[in-house]
Structure 1
């Protein structure tokens, strides 16, 4: 198949979307498909990424709220590019404007919308959840729900990476929802990466000895990640137990995070670890990974921790929940730092943990492309 991914939020500067795109280009080509990423950019360009794999950028404006990204400003431009490429299958990689543009394209190819974002959980539920019931919030954001419901009928699939989001969208009247969990890079994450010397070094940075417990946080420093909640939980646990916390991340909320750390010697903030081998050793060397966001669509770092034999402590809502199942870790009541602290204590001091098998990105793309092939065959029979 020739699969065109209309990817509005691809940026060569990195991030989860770039990682996903790179994996898709690699796995898709290995499975015999032609993968084309169609993205907005500063100029019209074609980047060859190996046999049957390329990135095509169309000149478009920068996204005003985040200059690292661009957006598709012209429907005729995007539709003309799709007409020229003649895809067998089309993806819209976000639920926003690009989903509408792909839905409105007049081509015959089947198509899917990929829910790489959960805006209601990331913003609306977080902003107003302490004041209004979720049903009331959904009613107030009915324009977004109408957008999803209307355009979902133009897609063969609305693909979610976790079962919780699939159920919520289906219950809200969104058509054609399906769960296809993502996965970690194969061969990268393993309990064998545990490095006692690195662990001791990280604990020393937290002013703690080697026999203390080491907690890990990884992610953007953004409000929806709820790092202040995690920091409150860690501070509660560490008051009478030798526990250190290292957080790897950067972002617009750095000042807020540093203010919340407030000079605590047992908590350290580091820039993201960009060496993939070192990052794998960091994860495997922790005693548990703690996450605060209930708005994850998959939570890749939780999957990476699970593959590394490290238990996770995550909210009981959102994409991270699936990774805690079957002994992978514990969940706590979302947005509740006291519940998070209790779960941390149980994972670190009261419960044995056994390494869990992890789903890989190869598994994800094999399932995703098999789903697409079914739609293509159905479309060809109908034609």
Structure 2
């Protein structure tokens, strides 16, 4: 099956959406599917206002339309609600094609925080976007319930996994010389991550933050006692997890938090607020602690066992997540949307005739 995925998030960005795309493409390809990504680097670009590290496609509709006509996909999935996402939606609306979408971030909260405009405006915009899709994929049961509550129709689950062969306990001396315990944050250094709530805590030990973003320079100056390492990938990222005593996730706006699973796979417990994402990952398992007082959550998380964290991470499978994705796809061009197995049958039949 030829699957085209449209995303406004792609390299050089380092975030959960990009990692999910990379892994999903790899898993789908291993199953024999052809996966084609349409991303901003294929278009003229402009920096996102207030976040210049993110580049957006500039007036992409005409080129994207031509690409979709030439590619003739069996299924089209739109990951983001940016310029490319809206261009793909517009093309499908004009040509009566079907597509699926993903709701992967609480964009209205981010946009309201950055612009000062009401969240309700952005939620109306979000609902309008996704209700054109045949299915809107969300990561967790909490997000599924929220989608139904705010009026996003036809929401379905697309679960997440963790790369267990990659994220695992390894020897690490990365933070060996720092005062213990080491409390680690991994992710974008950006306003929506609520990092001040972590950095302002009066707790013993070292706060270490791994990642880049628009607030990196200002927070480095404001919090000289914290350690800001910049972004890390590959083995360096694994050693960062394994060199910590606890993973701290202060965000209240993330819809999942893949970094929490990665930390657990390395044997590191998680401390977080009791919000969407941590609630769905941690649940009742003895692998982390959630509290409205983040310092309390950190204190409780220290008592969790590495073996329990690793065992819990193993319950999140990318194979199962990829099957979710396939099951949710619909036929791009059929008069009535078909499920993935019907698309595959149709494409095989077409190849043989």
Q: Give the TM-score category using the shorter length.
A: 0.7 to 0.9
Matched residue, 1:250 = 212
C-alpha RMSD of the superposition: 2.8
Matched residue, 2:335 = none
SS in 2 for 1:202: coil
Deviation at 1:227, TM superposition (A): 1.6
Number of equivalent positions: 330
Aligned partner of 2:243 among 285, 296, 315: 285
Matched residue, 1:84 = 70
Matched residue, 2:187 = 219
CA contact 2:3–2:34 (8 Å) conserved in 1:
yes
Higher RCO, 1 or 2 (CA under 8 Å, sep at least 6)?
A: 2
The 4+ residue runs of structure 1 with deviation greater than 6 A are 125-128, 378-382
Q: Structure 2: which 5+ runs fail to align?
A: 331-337, 347-353
Deviation at 1:244, TM superposition (A): 2.5
Could you tell me how far apart the structure 1 residues matched to 2:257 and 2:300 are? 22
Asked whether 1:313 is paired with 2:271, we answer yes
Asked whether 1:163 is paired with 2:141, we answer yes
- The normalised TM-score by structure 2 is 0.83
- The normalised TM-score by structure 1 is 0.77
Matched residue, 2:260 = 302
Structure 1 residues 202 and 91 mapped into 2: Cα distance closer, same or farther (>3 Å)?
same
Matched residue, 2:323 = 366
Structure 1 residues 352 and 30 mapped into 2: Cα distance closer, same or farther (>3 Å)?
closer
Aligned partner of 1:272 among 212, 217, 231: 231
Structure 1 residues 318 and 124 mapped into 2: Cα distance closer, same or farther (>3 Å)?
farther
Aligned partner of 1:342 among 260, 283, 296: 296
Matched residue, 2:45 = 61
Aligned partner of 2:175 among 179, 202, 211: 202
Structure 1 residues 282 and 171 mapped into 2: Cα distance closer, same or farther (>3 Å)?
same
Deviation at 1:107, TM superposition (A): 4.6
Could you tell me how far apart the structure 2 residues matched to 1:126 and 1:351 are? 36
Please, which moves more after superposition, 176-185 or 285-294? 176-185
Q: Structure 1: which 5+ runs fail to align?
A: 42-56, 129-136, 334-338
Deviation at 1:377, TM superposition (A): 5.1
Could you tell me how far apart the structure 1 residues matched to 2:160 and 2:295 are? 28
Structure 1 residues 250 and 101 mapped into 2: Cα distance closer, same or farther (>3 Å)?
closer
Deviation at 1:303, TM superposition (A): 1.0
Asked whether 1:329 is paired with 2:315, we answer no
